[in-house]
Structure 1
């Protein structure tokens, strides 16, 4: 089996939870290098991994072929560019970059170097999102007229992460952080919109980056898709609401991979590393083909973030399609930029190049 040597640019939560465990358990990858600026936390679990004190040092001295840029978004452009110029393929954490211009430059550079650049859109592998995808593919809802995707939390105290909370830093705030997931799911399910209107602001006050957003996406076929997130939501909402001309589907946010990984669970290729649901997590109500309607409770099947790394491996070894390539995620960055413009100017923003 071909072994792909990987370097991890940071060993904070993202490295410990979303990347290192999967690289260790996947037989096709070997995490041979990691950047820890002052600590050596990776040593106990990954003793075979060489620790470097900077990304530059790792790129200069390690024989890795794939680099995972999982540092704060404000550094993504610098480190991705550095890795590409060193001849390395790159996975970069979401959000891709702080703006469209940076994203375009990196995609262009990767193409010139004949290297791949993938954005880690792991929530394409969430159980709840996959269930929505399944229901849409079944066609029981008919033509979708209205949809809502939301990611709410109750976090009234600011986090200690300055790169997410400081309003003076480009790319900080919920729109770039959680918005990059919701926007990605919307464009995967429904395509790119014709225009949008957005409301983005800091509920915790002007000393903090935006922690609330609502984006209304308009499509040429009349479809309306609403994306929303708030940190002042004590009661849970349905994460996905879809209404079509033949029925409706409501889906809770039930994927628990992040919590399981934080608690120390070891991921595998099989979904059984996740705990099964105790109760149904969705409601499907639709018109039957003959007569009447049917209302059923649905249960989503487990998702698995390992599938992202499996797709990366298959791209490297077999040339299969690259998951979430940078060229595709540029479209998501356009929506983030347009949402900021719309909120600031109080106007609908059109996408002229679509």
Structure 2
């Protein structure tokens, strides 16, 4: 019998219940065997038969768990990942990896000493719209890209009582959505030369940033990354201008909404984007849709990395680069000036 990868999940809030538990369950060869949660009744209702523990320590003592998935508030990522690595577990951490680059680097070193895999859940590499963008750029359909703009706009005018919108460490929209946009950009273009960021808290009673506008400088292009919690009419998700043509795409990947509504991955049409992008070449506009999105591919790759020695789908070094840019962005916003990206950021990750 082929061995199954046994997973334990720390945290059953929004990320754990909406993303990780359903995705782990939907991945062939992976079994969710235990969850630590302060609300065991919710876990039992959704996943009968899965062991539920009141705290992380109890779950980490379980000898049959191969990989621990950390889906807890941002400020707990580092201590919980450290504890899981020291317990000899492979570890997946939800984004953002940690609160700062120094914590990320320490976890990388501890994983190397333990001989275990450490990965970060940058799931939006498997968004349908991003896969379409990758295909366009790999095919050189637009020619040389000179302007790349990526927006993540939402309309949430009421400030909610939750840690993501609190004034604490790791809160705010830049740390919530910035990691997605930065990771996608690094996948396409590598590290920039410099970053400039502006942050704002625009909603009444906002306790942390709910608007950001970042610019990344490359030798031959400029990249704009933007996020807002107060955009009733969202801007295009992607706008790309190249020497041969342009591409625009409205609307977000459908997987998050499908998961929120209780759908399980793998059904007919899963990840298919109903709103194709638009390519404009030589004055002629035509729709363009890439492959279907599929977050399950992340956990399938985690399974293969642990059980078969294949490559880590999102390395901790890549996530450390994202953390470093998040930090540089915050410094830019504080000093109100461009921040150069140090050469060592590339050297350590290569």
TM > 0.5 fold call: yes
Match of 1:255 among 231, 253, 257: 253
The match for 1:290 is: none
Measured in 2, the distance between the counterparts of 1:124 and 1:203 equals 29
The secondary structure found in structure 2 opposite 1:44 is: helix
Alignment of 1:67-216 (within 5 A): 67-161=68-162, 163-167=163-167, 169-204=168-203, 207-216=206-215
Measured in 1, the distance between the counterparts of 2:341 and 2:205 equals 29
Alpha-carbon shift at residue 199 of structure 1 (Å) = 0.3
The match for 1:330 is: 320
Measured in 2, the distance between the counterparts of 1:92 and 1:111 equals 16
Check the 8 A contact 1:250/1:282 in 2, yes or no. Answer: yes
Check the 8 A contact 1:271/1:302 in 2, yes or no. Answer: no
Measured in 1, the distance between the counterparts of 2:175 and 2:268 equals 29
Measured in 2, the distance between the counterparts of 1:98 and 1:76 equals 8
**Is 1:46 equivalent to 2:43 in the alignment?**
no
Alignment of 1:217-232 (within 5 A): 217-219=216-218, 221-232=219-230
**Is 1:306 equivalent to 2:296 in the alignment?**
yes
Measured in 1, the distance between the counterparts of 2:138 and 2:30 equals 33
Alpha-carbon shift at residue 317 of structure 1 (Å) = 2.2
- Structure 2 unaligned segments of length 5 or more: list them: none
The secondary structure found in structure 1 opposite 2:43 is: coil
- Give TM-score, length-normalised by structure 2: 0.94
Check the 8 A contact 2:67/2:92 in 1, yes or no. Answer: yes
The secondary structure found in structure 2 opposite 1:303 is: coil
The secondary structure found in structure 2 opposite 1:108 is: helix
Check the 8 A contact 1:40/1:51 in 2, yes or no. Answer: no
Alpha-carbon shift at residue 27 of structure 1 (Å) = 3.0
Alpha-carbon shift at residue 222 of structure 1 (Å) = 2.5
The secondary structure found in structure 2 opposite 1:43 is: helix
Check the 8 A contact 1:147/1:241 in 2, yes or no. Answer: yes
**Is 1:345 equivalent to 2:341 in the alignment?**
no
Measured in 1, the distance between the counterparts of 2:199 and 2:216 equals 14
Alpha-carbon shift at residue 274 of structure 1 (Å) = 4.5
Report the number of matched residues. 343
Q: How large is the Cα RMSD of the aligned pairs?
A: 1.6
**Is 1:30 equivalent to 2:31 in the alignment?**
yes
Distance of aligned partners of 1:343 and 1:329 in 2 relative to their CA distance in 1, 3 Å threshold: same
- Give TM-score, length-normalised by structure 1: 0.93
Measured in 1, the distance between the counterparts of 2:232 and 2:319 equals 31
Measured in 1, the distance between the counterparts of 2:304 and 2:49 equals 24
Measured in 2, the distance between the counterparts of 1:110 and 1:91 equals 11
Distance of aligned partners of 1:98 and 1:31 in 2 relative to their CA distance in 1, 3 Å threshold: same
Measured in 1, the distance between the counterparts of 2:113 and 2:339 equals 32
Deviations, residues 33-92 of structure 1 (Å, cap 9, x unaligned): 101124321113322211101001111245211000000011000100000000000000
Check the 8 A contact 1:255/1:302 in 2, yes or no. Answer: no
Alpha-carbon shift at residue 237 of structure 1 (Å) = 1.3
Deviations, residues 188-246 of structure 1 (Å, cap 9, x unaligned): 11110000111012112575111111110001x23100000111111121111111111
The match for 1:15 is: 16
Deviations, residues 93-117 of structure 1 (Å, cap 9, x unaligned): 0011111111110011101111111
Measured in 1, the distance between the counterparts of 2:118 and 2:66 equals 12
Measured in 2, the distance between the counterparts of 1:109 and 1:206 equals 40
Distance of aligned partners of 1:156 and 1:195 in 2 relative to their CA distance in 1, 3 Å threshold: same
- Structure 1 unaligned segments of length 5 or more: list them: 288-292
The secondary structure found in structure 1 opposite 2:22 is: helix
Deviations, residues 235-264 of structure 1 (Å, cap 9, x unaligned): 121111111111111112341111111111
Measured in 1, the distance between the counterparts of 2:200 and 2:158 equals 16
